[in-house]
Amino acid sequence: MIEFLEPIHVSHYLLVGAVMFVTGAVCMATKRNVLGILMGVELVLNGANINFIAFGSKYLRSDSLGLDGQLIALFVIVLAAAEAAVALAIALNFYNNHTTIDVDEADDLRG
């Protein structure tokens, strides 16, 4: 017997985006490793991208093409790529100076 499943709506995308956003925020708050914090930042940005695309959906606004959210998400992806490149360069420089990437060891960076 085939059961009919509920179709996927915008609210499902918003729920997935919110879960990714909260998971990334918790990851940023709890990790002590620079790479773990960067993964949390990427989760936050990807959760926001899913929400942008869901809010720009044609199901919410039928008067537009539905590309508003996708264009904002594309801008966020470009921003995330630049952020990741700069953050990894900083992490590699910090590792070369301190032989660790633990953020608690960064007390000599205080000005």
- pLDDT, tens digit, for every residue of 15-72? 999 999 999 999 999 988 888 999 999 999 999 999 998 888 777 777 767 678 888 8
Would you tell me how many other CB atoms lie within 10 Å of the CB of residue 45?
A: 19
Q: Do the Cβ atoms of 83 and 41 come closer than 8 Å?
A: yes
**Cα 105 from Cα 97, distance rounded (Å):** 11
Residue range 99-110: mean pLDDT, rounded: 74
Whether this model's pTM surpasses 0.75? yes
